[in-house]
Chain A
Amino acid sequence: MSEANDNIDEDAVEVLTLPLDAWHRDKGGRMVEFAGYWMPVQYEGIIAEHLWTRENAGLFDVSHMGQLLLSGEGLEAAVEAVLPIDLSTLKLGQQRYSLLLDEEGGVLDDLMVQRWPDKLYMVVNGATKWDDIGTLREALPDEVTINHLDEQALLALQGPKASAALERHAPGVSALTFMKLGHFTIAGHPATISRSGYTGEDGFEISIPAEAAAEVAGLLCGEPEVKPIGLGARDSLRLEAGLPLYGHDLGPDTSPIEAGLIFGINKRRRAEGGFPGAERIQRELAEGTARRWVGLALEGRQAAREGAEVYAGGELVGKLTSGGFSPSLNHPIATAYVASEFAAEGTAVEIDVRGKRLPARVVPMPFVPHRYHR
């Protein structure tokens, strides 16, 4: 028996540990290599953890992600030259999704930007954080300081009962709405909390000092609504939520317009340009793209995985970028880039899995409705 397809990073030279490493092991987490770190893939089982998060609240350790704090003279203009964001509309205490693009409009990373007093805080993907810092350092003037907050841990508390559980430790947090943030304290430790996440559920992302991570994780998991959840369920939850995963659904060979991420490029910037790759983005906005990122629902129970080819009437029309079994829907789902003429909702296609053609159809995303607290 062998695993034919998994997401473990096999190129990692030295596997590093994160602040909650011992805590995860103590809680029974099965640790795997991911983005250069030991991370828990599951505790009691992916399906149970997935459904628990949809019905209660799950605590995810996302401390492998990069937390950056940018400050300095000319910060606004300098950041707008690098990201397609409209900072004039990003008010204090707000967070927005943005994209780091290359000169050809390919995606180098997707990220979150928060407005802090006189500063911008960013959360970037773990596997790309060092490259991102290099890209930003090169593109930003010397007056702008990039502070990598590598002494901060990041927790995500996700699910319909997240707000009730967190409110007991960070009073006032339940007043935040989706994509808003504030500075709180938990058990005396400073905590920057945004109402956001990557599961499609209501929830929070909590930045705390590394030395407080185990105490805070313990307090939250002491609440009856909260259980620790591994990377396995994080992936199945974000797939059901129709959210793209960098390195799989997004990369330098994909444009944000193909991926349907127009909302990640603010309106004023679409019109004005002036960011890396703007020419391609504006052309694709005007003319459309040859392929599009779509959701697929499969019949039966056999899943199709990343890399599987998509066929329509015998013609190769696309390739899967994510795929797996949906615990909430109880059937397999997938995402793929397909030629635009096959991207319409309801289009029947076939997915090649080891020589067998599995019937599927194009369905709207998210597969499971978002339940953000707006």
Chain B
Amino acid sequence: MARYFTEEHEWIDVVGDLGTVGITDYAQGQLGDITFVDLPEEGASFAKGDSACVVDSVKAASDVYTPVSGTVSAVNGALSDAPELVNEDAEQGGWLFRLTLSDAAELDGLMDEAAYKDFIKGL
């Protein structure tokens, strides 16, 4: 499994052609208390950079962009009852949705964990 990061603070774990997407721990910290997650429909297709999901905090609504193109194969239903899981465990249990990748080559443009850590240090 490989994990990639975007400059928009999403992460994606990739196994074969299946990717699991969430927002980073840094991002959940910036958003504060998350009160609702508007998950995508299973089967919906998105191009890299599309808004696939909206995370509501007390303060604001924020788009989550798909790091790569693909079709939604699953969503994290646990977030319907417990959106605060994104605050508590953003990079594991608070994952948002799974994608079947349509172009794995798009992963090449993303950051690895070390690069992302450097990136947020500069913010």
Contact = CB atoms under 8 A, between A and B. Distances in A.
Contacts of A300: 36
A193 B61 CA distance: 37
**B contact patch SS:** strand
Interface string B7-41: 01110000000000001000100011101101000
A366 to B, nearest CB: 18
6 contacts: A1-B65, A3-B60, A3-B61, A4-B54, A47-B33, A325-B58
A303 B36 contact: yes
A14 interface: no
Chain A, interface residues (CB within 8 Å), range: 20 to 34
Given A1-B63, A4-B60, A301-B83, A46 B8 contact: no
Which of A6, A48, A302, A332 is most buried by chain B, counting CB atoms within 10 A of its CB? A302
Nearest to B80: A301
Interface of B: 8-10, 23, 27, 31-33, 35-36, 38, 54-65, 83
B63 A42 contact: no
Contacts of A302: 36, 38, 56
Interface string A66-89: 000000000000000000000000
The 6 residue pairs across chains A and B that have the minimum distance between CB atoms: A325-B35, A301-B36, A46-B58, A47-B33, A6-B60, A3-B60
Contacts of B31: 3
A41 interface: yes
A231 to B, nearest CB: 9
B123 to A, nearest CB: 13
A6 B23 contact: no
Nearest to A231: B59
B59 A232 contact: yes
Contacts of A46: 32-33, 57-59
A1 B58 contact: no
Contact of A236 (B9, B55, B56, B58): B58
Nearest to A331: B35
